[in-house]
Structure 1
Amino acid sequence: MRKQPVTRRQFLGSGIAAAGVISIGGALPANGRDWEEYAARFDRSIGDGLPAGPLRPDDETAWKAVAKNYDVTNKITNLENGYWGIMANPVLAEYKQLTEFINKENTIFARPRWSETYRGVRDTVAGFLNVGPDEIALTRGATEALQALIGGYNKLKPGDTVLYADLDYSEMKNAMRWLEVRRGVKAVKLTFPEPTIDRPLQEADILGFYEKALSANPETKLLLLTHLNNWTGLIIPVARIARMARDRGADVILDAAHSVGQVELNLKGLGCDFIGVNLHKWVGAPIGCGVIYIKKDRIDAIDPYMGKPTDVSDIDGRIDTGTLNFAAHMTIPAAIAFHNKIGTAAKEARLRYLRNLWVAPARKMKGLTVLTPDDEAMVAALTSFRLDGVTSTSANDSVVRHLAEKFGVLTVRRTGPAAGDCIRVTPSVYTSADDVMKLVNALRSITASPGSIGVS
């Protein structure tokens, strides 16, 4: 995403400005409303404590300064940051303040002012994503957005085929299977090729996999893709696959839940007309912040949400969150501003550097397979590993428990790949190189004596 200051337009309608809240940058001007000055002050204030100049991925001193902006527990070394991303302290302060404001003002604020506040926040998000404000709506997360897209896609007829894969997210796989009932289609599950110790996956493998799948299923009209999957961390060449599908008359719904904020990308450049996004994973917004994206000229391909009366070109009618957390969504501009202070490119490089610190030695360990390649186009922060023969849920839970209890390192077991369960490792921007080395030492111990964890 683009690194840029908060603009007058963004703050004028951001909800923080519209609500008149005393924000991180100080109270709004009582008279004159010098929004440019206020926005600039806000932008400067959230950068306090961040290192100046470009951030090198291996500069531990600089990233330690970044880490000071996060209040992290010392109970365990957390290498499970894929669930959601904790807010930076300035963003958390804004969220607390806005929560108090909403709780105090209640419907006095919400009834007359929420609609304009929502539009301001949406404009800010649209600018961040480089899409039109009329192409997005705010949701409580990518899952909600994708369920609305899959369930609402209306270009299917009985006898058509829809494709999804084992590496897609569980709730999205459920939604694709449900289309058999909802639309009378045939849902086909694909199984991704697995890497081996000697041969990591390559982009050509992924392209060939989808080429073969589309050729074998010529009635395919809808394809679900996950840009950066949550099970193993693999990034796939979405734009090329989407073009392949489009040439065969199939639309693509894209799960970009882990993409925005973790890797630099041009959302429109991915070539997908329907996308679900999270802002609470790698952008650092409060839990419950996501986006549904529908390309403007394709909005009519998604039905109004559960019969909701709406204009045919109105994206707001394609989703209904009910009463959402106003304060969480009003905090999104602050989260974006803080994220931009660090920069997506710097985050991506740092996260990949931390990932490589443990993956490089892990590849040399006997009986351990790393499930993502080292190609920078195919991986960022997330990477999973599997111990040889350890494929069950219970066995992988034992490994996770052993890592936590004996070595003080938190990871997570993932159940999704057809070849069996695995263990995911996910650093954050507050993670240090020393944190990662704790995992390396733990894996060396485990692979040297696999019987010590009671699995084989």
Structure 2
Amino acid sequence: MQKINRRMMLAGGLAFPAAAGAALAPGDDDERFWSAIAAEYAPPAGVIQLENGNWGMMARPVLQAYQELVARVNRDTSFYARRGMTRDLMAARDQAAAAMGVPADEIAFTRNASEALRALILGYNRLTPGDAVLYADLDYDAMQTCMESLATQRRARVVRIALPEPATRQTLIDTYVAAMAANPRLKLILLTHLSHRTGLVVPVREIAGLARARGIDVIVDAAHSWGQLDFTLRDLDCDFVGVNGHKWLGAPLGVAFLHIRKAALDRIDRDPLNEAGGHDGIHTRVHLGTYDFAASLTVPAALAFQARIGSARRAARLRMLRDRWVTVARTIPGLDVLTPDDPTMHGAITSFRVRGITDSARNARLAKWLLDERGIFTVQRDGVAGGACVRVTPAVYTRVSDVDALAAALPGLMGFSRTI
């Protein structure tokens, strides 16, 4: 394994070791390329890991960089913190901003997307008593709770909608347009770009544009989409976004980002711990205190690793792995796939439901059967208006044989479902 030093990390100069297929280019045999990628990961032995939605595994070069940075931060403590660490953190932030396609001063580190979104939702200062805010059933639980809290904190009226199932881009747009029309005092919408529950991708840019024309602000939860889909934040054309780094970027746990456009900064209050004077930038909207600095400093290594794959190539691979098992699932009577086959409406994550089994307990038993009987790890998800489901999430290290094993297990799962 090559030695990773600070200069390489901050310059994004990380390269694959030769043994891992560094000579492979996009025109070479695709499975050889992806086998080389898979060789850079160490998933749990004895199980097919198809539950990669919780957080992403660091590739070996990224893990090595993180370990070296943990050692440095631990060794040098304040000698480093007061003599260059801030500069290195800002260089890491700048590289992340460039990858997201936004100015560096519109990005701030947070420890997770929930922290970023909490700062946006609770800091949003354009609500007056009686104004409405809106979220959907597929939004993340903690963010739903934040939106609900605006009823007491801002005396807002909270509106909850259910997204259509099955969905199309147009039915999703129509659903939000109908909600806007039905709530003339609507001021704020939470949009989840890619749902952690089902994998559904919402046409954020179109919906946000329609909201903007009505004077409605939109906060975007991009925790799962950046790094899973091929896009930049500029493509979303939204003022407020929360992004995770420890999911699909494969950075260490505790890395995420807050994005606020400069022109919209005054719509979000400062964090109370940052109220005292100083420059009024995005960094004042969140307060991290003393946190895992090594995690944020590892971002350039994670970006460099992902750059060797390429955003479009990664997204296409994840869609292919999803499509491979979904194609089989579509042929099985009584098994419903909860994301459309429209490639603009899904990434890697896709959930399925055995028709008529809508409670969490029985979906948990289905996931348990897959693990116990076939060695395939998935997870049940609830909170969907149509009922609970089983979520399948491949990753860049997932092999074709892994999703083929899931496809082969589905008929047996259907047989088991009739016994519960």
**Structure 1 and Structure 2 fold alike (TM over 0.5):** yes
Partner of residue 81 from structure 1, selected from 46, 52, 56: 52
1: distance between equivalents of 2:399 and 2:97?
32
1:166 maps to 137
What is the identity percentage for the equivalent residue pairs of Structure 1 and Structure 2? Answer: 44
1:229 maps to 195
1:141 maps to 112
**3-state DSSP of counterpart to 2:44:** coil
Conserved? CA contact 1:47–1:338, under 8 Å: no
Alignment of 1:304-319 (within 5 A): 304-306=270-272, 308-309=274-275, 310-311=277-278, 313-319=280-286
Matched, 1:397 2:364: yes
Deviation at 1:335, TM superposition (A): 0.3
1:17 maps to none
Deviation at 1:25, TM superposition (A): 4.9
Query: For 1:421-451, what per-residue CA distance to the aligned partner results, in whole angstroms no more than 9, with x for missing partners?
Result: 1110000111111111111121111224533
Alignment of 1:61-80 (within 5 A): 61-80=32-51
Matched, 1:359 2:330: no
2:73 maps to 102
Alignment of 1:52-67 (within 5 A): 52-54=24-26, 59-67=30-38
The letter of the residue matching 1:268 is R
1:435 maps to 402
Conserved? CA contact 1:79–1:425, under 8 Å: yes
Conserved? CA contact 1:366–1:447, under 8 Å: no
Deviation at 1:156, TM superposition (A): 0.6
Conserved? CA contact 2:226–2:232, under 8 Å: no
2:287 maps to 320
Scaled by the length of structure 2, what TM-score is found? 0.95
1:272 maps to 238
Conserved? CA contact 1:311–1:317, under 8 Å: no
1: distance between equivalents of 2:193 and 2:27?
26
Query: For 1:97-127, what per-residue CA distance to the aligned partner results, in whole angstroms no more than 9, with x for missing partners?
Result: 1111111112221233332222121111111
1:184 maps to 155
Partner of residue 384 from structure 2, selected from 387, 393, 417: 417
Matched, 1:251 2:217: yes
2: distance between equivalents of 1:147 and 1:349?
31
The letter of the residue matching 1:386 is R
Deviation at 1:344, TM superposition (A): 1.1
Deviation at 1:308, TM superposition (A): 2.2
Scaled by the length of structure 1, what TM-score is found? 0.88
The letter of the residue matching 1:289 is V
Deviation at 1:128, TM superposition (A): 1.3
1:44 maps to 15
Query: For 1:120-170, what per-residue CA distance to the aligned partner results, in whole angstroms no more than 9, with x for missing partners?
Result: 211111111111111110011111100000000001110100000001000
Alignment of 1:189-228 (within 5 A): 189-195=160-166, 201-228=167-194
Cα distance 1:419–1:38, how it changes in 2: closer, same or farther (>3 A)?
A: closer
2:64 maps to 93
Deviation at 1:337, TM superposition (A): 0.5
| Gapped regions of structure 1 (runs ≥ 5) | 1-22, 29-34, 196-200
2: distance between equivalents of 1:187 and 1:37?
45
The letter of the residue matching 2:175 is F
**3-state DSSP of counterpart to 2:228:** coil
Conserved? CA contact 1:25–1:45, under 8 Å: no
Conserved? CA contact 1:55–1:346, under 8 Å: no
1:297 maps to 263
Query: For 1:161-208, what per-residue CA distance to the aligned partner results, in whole angstroms no more than 9, with x for missing partners?
Result: 00000010001000000011111100100111112xxxxx21111111
Conserved? CA contact 1:146–1:172, under 8 Å: yes
Partner of residue 238 from structure 1, selected from 204, 208, 221: 204
Conserved? CA contact 2:199–2:349, under 8 Å: yes
Cα distance 1:226–1:141, how it changes in 2: closer, same or farther (>3 A)?
A: same
Cα distance 1:90–1:37, how it changes in 2: closer, same or farther (>3 A)?
A: closer
**3-state DSSP of counterpart to 2:391:** strand
**3-state DSSP of counterpart to 1:384:** strand
Conserved? CA contact 2:193–2:201, under 8 Å: yes
**3-state DSSP of counterpart to 2:352:** strand
Cα distance 1:54–1:176, how it changes in 2: closer, same or farther (>3 A)?
A: same
2: distance between equivalents of 1:262 and 1:449?
32
2: distance between equivalents of 1:175 and 1:444?
40
1: distance between equivalents of 2:349 and 2:395?
10
Cα distance 1:111–1:202, how it changes in 2: closer, same or farther (>3 A)?
A: same
Deviation at 1:386, TM superposition (A): 0.5
Deviation at 1:71, TM superposition (A): 1.2
2: distance between equivalents of 1:126 and 1:406?
44
Cα distance 1:312–1:299, how it changes in 2: closer, same or farther (>3 A)?
A: farther
**3-state DSSP of counterpart to 2:14:** helix
2: distance between equivalents of 1:356 and 1:203?
19
1: distance between equivalents of 2:218 and 2:69?
37
2: distance between equivalents of 1:371 and 1:45?
37
2:102 maps to 131
The letter of the residue matching 2:141 is S
2: distance between equivalents of 1:114 and 1:43?
20
Conserved? CA contact 2:218–2:238, under 8 Å: yes
Conserved? CA contact 1:162–1:176, under 8 Å: yes
**3-state DSSP of counterpart to 1:106:** helix
Deviation at 1:312, TM superposition (A): 7.1
2: distance between equivalents of 1:90 and 1:401?
33
2: distance between equivalents of 1:329 and 1:162?
33
1:450 maps to 417
2:347 maps to 380
